[in-house]
Amino acid sequence: MLFLGFMTIENNFSLFPFNTFKIDCSARWFSKISTIQELTHLLSQNEFTNADKLIVGGGSNILFTKNFDGLVIKNELLGIEKTNEDEKHVYLKASAGVGWHQLVLFCIENNWAGIENLSLIPGCVGAAPIQNIGAYGVELKDVFHSLEAYSVADKKVIQFNSSDCEFGYRDSVFKNKYKNQFVITSVTFKLNKTPHFKTSYGAIEQELDRMNIKDLSIQVISKAIVNIRSSKLPNPDLLGNAGSFFKNPEISLRKFEELQKRFPEISHYSLSNGNIKLAAGWLIEQCKWKGKSIGNCGVHQHQALVIVNYGGATGAEIFDLSEQILQSVKHKFDVELEREVNIL
């Protein structure tokens, strides 16, 4: 254990509590930061200049396949504040360490609309723009205004607007060009005072009918989505997982038409660019993976997109299972799946 003034740095620290897959691994160094000053102080230490660095919030989109031979920083920057508003919108700034669903509930309590469809997504605010999180017809970029990120090289906070972030499907500039170069410290959202309901995606309308809802509100939409997610997705506190493990693949219209001749029931939807997006869960299920276990891990019985750790699985075991799934989908459909989870 090291002490940097008011900060503690742990050596060979267990990361088991800090990843939702519940992988038993360790970090060479581990520390928590609750202010930007602490972050600056930590990163200015010569000992960490050339070390690999990893920022974790909820640890909900990571698969550790080995110990992390570097510095893991737990982001505990907290706080939510309204920074501006106009006739139609409220601008809300949330620190990176705030739990995502906590932010959703805060907005719902204040009748600020836009992220209710993103209810119950695990993780923290800081990870949301990196992944451009999305669910039930809404993506983070739809409500994004700006973010602040600490430049590891320049040792200062820089602001990014939407175009700077280069948002894509579960993607942003922070996953590729600027990977490991910035620490996101806060995100500002542009929320609606008058809601624009999105209920046509997935089973939202069916769940609203089941709930006997007559009048729509962001509160009831959030509740419906919480119900749906809770029925389909395992709680990571009870069963190790990282949510959807694979992205939905995008293919050309020509290739889709060929596939549809062989598989008339293939689950899909059309994109504005003329391509077709396939449902990765459907593809995996057709390959007979849903509910299948191999050793200490397997594919969840209610959602084929989710790989779970039944207890004691290593990251390498889970990665190997994902590789088998990729290969079987490729063999049956000639479609390449891509992992959504970050492999370390």
Q: Is residue 97 part of a domain?
A: yes
Q: Is residue 251 part of a domain?
A: yes
Point out the catalytic residue in the list 170, 186, 207, 229. 170
Q: Is residue 228 part of a domain?
A: no
- Same structural domain, 120 and 98: yes
In the chain, pLDDT over 90 holds for what percent of residues?
Answer: 68
Instruction: Supply the DSSP symbol for 112.
Output: -
Maximum C-alpha span of the chain: 67
pTM metric for this prediction: 0.83
Residue listed under structure tokens 């996101």: 184
Cβ-count burial 106-134 (b if 16+ within 10 Å, e if not): bbbeeebbbbbbbbbbbbbbbbbbbbbbb
Residue 1 above 60 pLDDT?
Answer: no
- Same structural domain, 96 and 119: yes
101-105, 171-175, 327-331: least confident range? 171-175
182: CATH: 3.30.465.10
**End residue of a domain, out of 75, 105, 136:** 75
- Same structural domain, 162 and 265: no
- Same structural domain, 244 and 170: no
Q: Provide the mean pLDDT of the chain.
A: 91
- Same structural domain, 69 and 84: no
The predicted pLDDT at position 149 comes to: 96
257 flagged as catalytic: no
Q: Is residue 153 part of a domain?
A: yes
39: CATH: 3.30.43.10
- Same structural domain, 126 and 40: no
Q: Which domain holds residue 60?
A: 2-75
- Same structural domain, 128 and 49: no
170 flagged as catalytic: yes
- Same structural domain, 85 and 181: yes
* Number of domains the chain is built from: 3
**End residue of a domain, out of 127, 159, 192:** 192
Residue 7 above 80 pLDDT?
Answer: no
Tens of pLDDT, residue by residue over 211-243, are 888 889 999 999 999 999 888 888 888 899 998
The predicted pLDDT at position 176 comes to: 85
- Same structural domain, 33 and 103: no
340 flagged as catalytic: yes
Q: Is residue 203 part of a domain?
A: no
Residue 290 above 90 pLDDT?
Answer: yes
Tens of pLDDT, residue by residue over 20-54, are 999 999 999 999 999 999 999 898 888 888 888 89
- Same structural domain, 51 and 89: no
The predicted pLDDT at position 4 comes to: 57
Contact 126, 96 (CB under 8 A): yes
Point out the catalytic residue in the list 38, 148, 207, 340. 340
Point out the catalytic residue in the list 26, 60, 146, 244. 244
Name which of 58, 62, 74, 94 is nearest 13 in CA terms: 74
Task: Give the tokens for residue 310.
Answer: 């039944």
**End residue of a domain, out of 75, 106, 140:** 75
Q: Is residue 302 part of a domain?
A: yes
Q: Is residue 299 part of a domain?
A: yes
303: CATH: 3.90.78.10
Which band of pLDDT confidence, cut at 50, 70 and 90, is reported for residue 58? confident
Q: Is 175 left (phi over 0), alpha (psi -120 to 50) or beta?
A: alpha
- Same structural domain, 251 and 176: no
Q: What is the DSSP string of 264-276?
A: TT--EEE-TTS-E
Q: Is residue 231 part of a domain?
A: no
Instruction: Supply the DSSP symbol for 117.
Output: G
What SS3 class is residue 86? coil
The predicted pLDDT at position 71 comes to: 92
- Same structural domain, 187 and 244: no
